[in-house]
Structure 1
Amino acid sequence: MESTNTSSPPPVSICATDDQMILQTSLLLRVNVVLMTTVAIVTFILTYKALFILKQRVIFHKSTKILLYISLVFVNVHEVIFMVIQCVAFMRSFTLNDKPCEIMRTTLECRFKNHVLIFGIAGMNFNQFGLTIDRLLATVIPQTYSNLGSLPGVLISILVIGSSIAAPLIIAIGDPYDDIVPNCFFFPEHSAPRANVFLIILSALVIVSIFFNFIIIFVNKKLEKGTRYYVIQRYQKREALISTRIIVYIAASQFLGLALYSTIVLTLRLHKSMIPVTMYHNIVWWAYTVPFAAVALPALLIHRINQVGSNRKRVINRITAKVETQEEHMKSLKELWG
């Protein structure tokens, strides 16, 4: 329940300043909404195709598949809520363009949308780290991992979802939700310091994920050579290698999306007093590159899975189209696995 203490300070003005009105009704904002809405729609379309390909192609272990499905869920939760926030801002920029005392939003009004947005951002990145743990298990204990089936993915998914739900609640601890924001995209002012720490933690997690994935690729290459004459073990190593390479591509795209956003926003915050209000908020709006990281997930999944499938088809056609020496045959089989 909200406090009703009558000794609390009076609320801040709900009316927009001249600079804020310029921001709310600017062409830059409207163009940004159209662009990001288009990105969201493309994400939905690519997700449908990625889900179909994931179901049809046998490339990933069951555990990894579950985590990839969860990644796609988080991506689309983020895109849906961000598109809603954007579209509301777009409509208000026209319908309330002459009503400065109605166009702004209270953080209390925005609490649910803001929490869901943070949930989506956290989930995208926490699950990326979860995929790295999954790949690590597949490398360190391959036989046990294979026998466990989907269990590792289920357990990691539960941890990821729980952590993602907790993230906005922790960021907003003690926030009175008594300030005014241009729209529900912006963090409440009192929560901003914790939000900055949150963004830094996410960036660090993605860097760690990329680092460990490269190590896993290196280790699997070495182990694969040591299992040259053991078909089952070699296939397991090759499966882990292919899966990890795809995860690295995804991690890199998400790192770029988040790192650009967090770096630019943190830099702006440090120099906020030196930047005009309209310029500051427009840059923050355009610096939000998370939707591009979101659309990259299904796009890269589709591209990489199709690429693996094309390589296998090409090798199979080559094997069946000509007589090969034993050395050429072994080379073809290696390409088929990779």
Structure 2
Amino acid sequence: MNKTAEELDSRNCASESLTNALISITMKFNFIFIITVVLISYCFTWLAIQALWKHNIFSNSTRLILIVCLLNSVVHQTTMLETRITQAYRSVVYDSEPCKLLFRSSDCVFELYLYYPTGYFSTYSVFSLTFDRLISHYKSRYYHMHQYFIATSLLVLQLLLTMFSFYIVFYGVSLAGYVPMCNFRPELTVYYGAINNVRTGVMVSCIIVTMFVYYVCVKSEKQIQKCSYSPGERYSAYENVTTSQSICISIVLQFSCIMISSFGSNLLIHITSKTTVSEEVFYAIVSFLPGVTYANLCLPLVIYFKTKLTTRNRKNRIAVMTSMYGDAGEHIDRLKRSWE
């Protein structure tokens, strides 16, 4: 163990400002707030998985990717739940003992090895979903013939990106020092910021690509609706638009959540370096910025409500088509006239 690690391990007592932050009313409110977010995410994750399983709004490839991402989010949210409960317990039991408030980083191995990989996996889900949309549009025939192979391949790549990021950040890093919560990274993780920048770049690139694919899908669907009488071709175009729109919304929301967390933390660090912001204020604000936790709530919300909306719209369209025109020939003639 080097000198820096030894120094960090010697600082086992929380400062007065940090102690005040950890036992404050604000932190207790934050505990209730984060627990509520996690519990709501559990409910909507279950509803979203049911929606994906029972309805064919999304393609089989997209559904498989989304289900795996939802299951991963459950693990991440559960890790967040456990770390907040243990922190709240210590803040109550050891509120007058600053030297027992903090967690030794080496005692948080279980949490670290779940929280960060699942967080990276959630972030890199945008990579899989974006390429899923690209392949579905530009290699449509191949995509529909090999959906499960494509989904599995993209998930493997997503996992490799996750493992690579985790390896860069944590490999060979001494888990020295003490942290306020077990999901806080050890101080000696020097590449943490660099990997965050890579994640941000990946998400921005995926947003741009997904928006482009959505735009192209909308144009393509309008053209097909005018020129094609094939129900299969028309439905495939409609499915591409619906799925691309949902994925685009999901990626933008996930990016927004993570950027609020990243930008907020960096801004606080910048302000702290320029002015005398106390640890109490710093940790009180940072505790409200777990971006991936919020992103893991947004994903099932988008899936569930988008599925309900699309199902309702589909039923309305079918009802209009079947109620207004009793004769199939008359309906086809009308479609021909409207497409001229």
SS at match of 1:28: helix
1:1-338 matches, within 5 Å, as 9=6, 11-191=9-189, 193-227=190-224, 228-229=227-228, 231=230, 232-273=232-273, 274=275, 275-323=277-325, 326=331, 330=335
Which deviations, in whole Å up to 9, do the C-alpha atoms of 1:116-163 show, x marking residues without a partner? 111121111111221000000001110011111311001111121232
What CA deviation, in whole Å up to 9, does each residue of 1:223-271 have, x standing for no partner? 3344422623333222211111110111111011001111111122233
Instruction: Calculate the aligned-residue CA RMSD, in Å.
Output: 2.4
Counterpart-to-counterpart distance in 2, 1:321 and 1:261: 51
Amino acid at match of 1:269: I
Q: 1:330 to 1:94 in 2, by over 3 A?
A: farther
Q: Is the 8 A contact 1:196 1:266 kept in 2?
A: no
> Matched residue of 2:188: which SS?
helix
CA 1:157–1:329 in 2, change beyond 3 Å: closer, same or farther? farther
What is the deviation of 1:183? 1.3
* AA aligned opposite 1:310: R
Deviation at 1:112? 2.7
Q: In the alignment, is the contact (CA less than 8 A) between 2:61 and 2:132 conserved in 1?
A: yes
Q: Which amino acid aligns with 1:25?
A: I
DSSP 3-state at the match of 2:175? coil
* Amino acid in the other structure paired with 1:121: G
Q: How many angstroms does 1:80 deviate by?
A: 0.5
Kindly provide the amino acid, as one letter, of the partner of residue 265 in structure 1: S
Residues 128, 251 of structure 1: 8 Å contact kept: yes
Q: Any conservation in 1 of the 2:5–2:176 contact (CA below 8 Å)? A: no
In structure 2, give the amino acid aligned to 1:187. Answer: R
* Mapped partners of 2:21, 2:112: distance in 1: 20
Counterparts in 2 of 1:6 and 1:310: CA distance versus 1, 3 Å? closer
Change (3 A) 1:276 1:329: farther
Q: Contact 1:67/1:131 (CA < 8 Å) preserved in 2?
A: yes
Greater alpha carbon shift after TM alignment, 180-189 vs 222-231: 222-231
Equivalent pairs, count? 329
Structure 2 gaps of 5+ residues are none
CA–CA distance in structure 2, aligned partners of residues 86 and 236 of structure 1:
45
Shift of the alpha carbon at 1:6? 9.9
Instruction: Report if the CA contact (8 A) 1:210-1:251 is conserved.
Output: yes
Name the aligned partner's letter for residue 36 of structure 1: I
**CA–CA distance in 1 between the matches of 2:288 and 2:309?**
33
User: CA separation of 1:328/1:271 partners in 2, compared to 1, >3 Å: closer, same or farther?
Assistant: farther
CA drift of 1:185 comes to: 2.5
Q: Residue type of the partner of 2:156?
A: I
Q: Which amino acid aligns with 2:228?
A: Y
Instruction: Return 252-261 or 219-228, whichever deviates more.
Output: 219-228
Q: Distance in 2 between matches of 1:196 and 1:67?
A: 27
Q: Provide closer, same or farther for how the CA distance between residues 99 and 219 of structure 1 changes in structure 2, counting only shifts above 3 A.
A: same
Check the 8 A contact 2:10/2:177 in 1, yes or no.
yes
| Runs of 5+ consecutive residues of structure 1 not aligned to the other structure | none
Equivalent residues of 1:128, 1:209 under 8 A apart: yes
Letter in 1 for 2:199: L
